[in-house]
Structure 1
Amino acid sequence: MSLSSAQKKAFRSIGHHLQPIVTVSENGLSEGALQELERALRDHELIKVKLALPERDDRRAMIEELIQLSGAELVQTLGKVALLYRHNPKANPKLSNIQRAEDHHGRH
């Protein structure tokens, strides 16, 4: 499922306020980091990942790996941070960054 530009724009504005949940270093993806990524995507759907890699090409390659391993989609990269999204129809509304944002905006 590819995100539309409208969805990406909405997700970027939600993501703007998020703190990175997972950090990936030059050592690559440890088992713990993979589990954390999986849990974060499952719970929050939209997450930021910090790429503690000095080289832009290495960061790009790591993002590709993250996407392949997690099935998430890349919404945006900003410097050393990637914004990833993976839909979870069973996400807890209290944890999902998407559902929380929709609730917040829908109840004025």
Structure 2
Amino acid sequence: MTGAIVAALYDRLAKEPLAPGLYLVSTPIGNLGDISPRALSILARASDVYCEDTRHSRKLFAAYGIERRLLAYHDHSDGRDRLRIIGRLQAGGSIALISDAGTPLISDPGFKLVRDAL
């Protein structure tokens, strides 16, 4: 896809309301241009975005002009952190979960959050 097409899709999707729920968002492995317009749209509209390393994820957000606070959810997060996130979901939040690269749940701590959210 050309940059103009991606930008047009992103603009269209970013205007639609984001339904409450837990969104598992894949992020690029190596090339920041490999992210989908839908993923960008979710990241731009989620009420909370949880990631393994805020410094790493901030680079992705900066590249696409996404101004959203990043919250840490990583190997050292505990059950209280998961309960807080689940509470936000139950209150109607739209929560995005991303990993440092690739899809959340594959060799990262996101599986515990999804397991407990089900």
Confirm or deny a common fold (TM above 0.5): no
Greater fraction strand? 1
Q: Taking structure 2 as the reference length, what is the TM-score of the superposition?
A: 0.35
Q: Say which structure, 1 or 2, has more relative contact order (CA 8 Å, 6+ apart).
A: 2
Q: Taking structure 1 as the reference length, what is the TM-score of the superposition?
A: 0.37
